[in-house]
Structure 1
Amino acid sequence: MRSAKRRPPPSTGGQLPVPKQPGTARYRQVAEDLIARVSRSELVPGQRLAPEAQLAQQYGINRLTMRRALEELARTGVVRTEHGVGSFIAVPATRHRIDDGEASLSESMARRGIAVRHRVLAVTKIDPGADTPFPDFAGATVEFRFVRYLEEEPWSIGEVLLPASLAPLDWDGNTSVFAPISARHGLTVKRAERAFSAGPANPDEAGWLDVPVGSALLELRGFNTDQHGRVIATVAHHIRGDRAEYVVRLPQ
């Protein structure tokens, strides 16, 4: 579970209700008004909105219309909803350079002063059979599944597959899973390939990442090599679409 944090007080309303605009759905008007209030810093990241019924009354609409506006804002990453707690203005996306020379996002973020930790969900030993992704390493493989937190907010669910001979079975999540590999085996871990796609959050992912089921996730897959060019890890991450922005610098 995430550690408790001090939250800003709930929003008290502002200039409401907004006038009706012909040709624009009422829920979309309300959503656009809330977005405008965020841009004016009337609502700030982490701030809890007033309860749904209170917001509906303030805007002069019914609760179903208000709920649809909040669902639209959650879908686009402006609002984050915690069931049983309320709706909050979402924290802005974290910008990440995938060509910054670091082997892991954890090291990259930590170098920028962003607190990173991992909650280890499972460590599973797998017999790869003939289709091993690690032809230079004999034997079984080990899969680590974990939730990554940035500044104590859930950011991604990851799976990293490693040769059993390299896998740090005592990994506690306070560093990246690659840090003990480098320290113990004298290997320089390098990003070798990354592919990106998008998909909806399933119920399990939504629960761990504190997002509604069906929310947009950025799916990253790839592999890492060592300084000798040997494949030593495959990676797969499902990242909150409202929290992530990946950047690569093109050659001049």
Structure 2
Amino acid sequence: MPSRHHGIADDLRHQITAGCVKPGDRLPSEADLADRYGVSTVTLRRALALLQGEGLVEKIHGKGNFVRRPPRKVVYAGGWGILDPWTAAEAALRVTVHKATIEAFGQLTTLLQVPAGSPLDEYTCISHEGESPHGLAQIYIPRHVTPACLDDESPGREAVSRFAVLSRPPAALRETVCARPPTPEEASTLRTNTSAPVLAITRIVTDTTGRVVEAALLVFPGDRVDAIFTTHPVTEERQPQE
């Protein structure tokens, strides 16, 4: 016999798929829903958690539970950043950028090959469509190699907001891609379920001397991104025969 919270989830799911409640609509409060179904708020929250995991319902802190709009995917072009929505006809995403100076620690010392405590410029970028976050980028550059073009009022600001490579021109770029569960902080920022996988990309940029000049940690909810990587075959030059 199905548990009570599964039955509640089935009923709410039917209301959503049948169009009785529409994308963007706020559901009744958890207390009102619990009264309606004659269950405790704990049981009601288990039902909502199922719908949140399926991507049908989104909980916004301080506002309540909303029927989630079908996610429009962004496109991450390997090495150069998000192309969509700048190349799409639909409204652009809103990207917030926060810059800070921090000291290198933990994983960053390894990625950037710098001593612990070295000053780094950190750019934290979050893309949103309405209330829904689409991606998180944390880009780190050693303070002594930060390009002058990244002043707040400069054209380089657009590159930051597109999650693009900031160091130009890069001699080499390496990206490591994996699917994994989000950390609690990532799940909170991206408003996704901790059991729903994210696409995580670690991007390392080096200059012509082999020095690491930039590291980026990019995280996207798995259902909100397509990643495109273009490779070119390596051809061997044939030596002329004597």
TM-score (norm 1): 0.64
The answer on 1:158 being equivalent to 2:137 is: yes
1:197 alignment partner in structure 2: 179
Q: Is the 8 A contact 1:93 1:245 kept in 2?
A: no
C-alpha distance after superposition, 1:210-232 (max 9, x if no partner): 456x3535141232658979765
Q: Is the 8 A contact 1:126 1:141 kept in 2?
A: yes
Residue 215 of structure 2: which of 211, 216, 234 is its match? 234
Cα distance change, pair 39–98 in 1 and its aligned pair in 2 (3 A): same
The answer on 1:175 being equivalent to 2:153 is: no
Q: Any residues of structure 2 matched to 1:5-20 within 5 Å, and which? A: none
Shift of 1:25: 1.8
Shift of 1:87: 0.7
Shift of 1:159: 1.2
1:111 alignment partner in structure 2: 87
C-alpha distance after superposition, 1:124-164 (max 9, x if no partner): 364999956489xxx97533233332345333332112354
Give the match's secondary structure for 1:47.
coil
1:42 alignment partner in structure 2: 20
Q: Any residues of structure 2 matched to 1:233-252 within 5 Å, and which? A: 233-241=214-222, 244-248=224-228
Residue 94 of structure 1: which of 65, 68, 72 is its match? 72
1:142 alignment partner in structure 2: 121
Cα distance change, pair 77–190 in 1 and its aligned pair in 2 (3 A): farther
1:222 alignment partner in structure 2: 202
The count of corresponding residues between Structure 1 and Structure 2 is 220
Q: Is the 8 A contact 1:48 1:88 kept in 2?
A: yes
Q: Is the 8 A contact 1:147 1:155 kept in 2?
A: yes
Give the match's secondary structure for 1:175.
helix
Question: Structure 1 regions of 5+ residues with no counterpart?
Answer: 1-22
Cα distance change, pair 45–178 in 1 and its aligned pair in 2 (3 A): closer
TM-score (norm 2): 0.66
Residue 65 of structure 1: which of 15, 28, 43 is its match? 43
The answer on 1:187 being equivalent to 2:169 is: yes
Cα distance change, pair 219–247 in 1 and its aligned pair in 2 (3 A): closer
Distance 1:226 1:132 in 2: 11
Cα distance change, pair 69–229 in 1 and its aligned pair in 2 (3 A): farther
Shift of 1:42: 2.5
Distance 1:156 1:181 in 2: 13
State the percentage of identical aligned residues: 21
Paired AA for residue 27 in structure 2: L
Distance 1:209 1:200 in 2: 9
Distance 1:180 1:93 in 2: 19
1:208 alignment partner in structure 2: 189
Give the match's secondary structure for 2:2.
coil
1:4 alignment partner in structure 2: none
Cα distance change, pair 129–45 in 1 and its aligned pair in 2 (3 A): closer
CA RMSD of aligned residues (A): 4.2
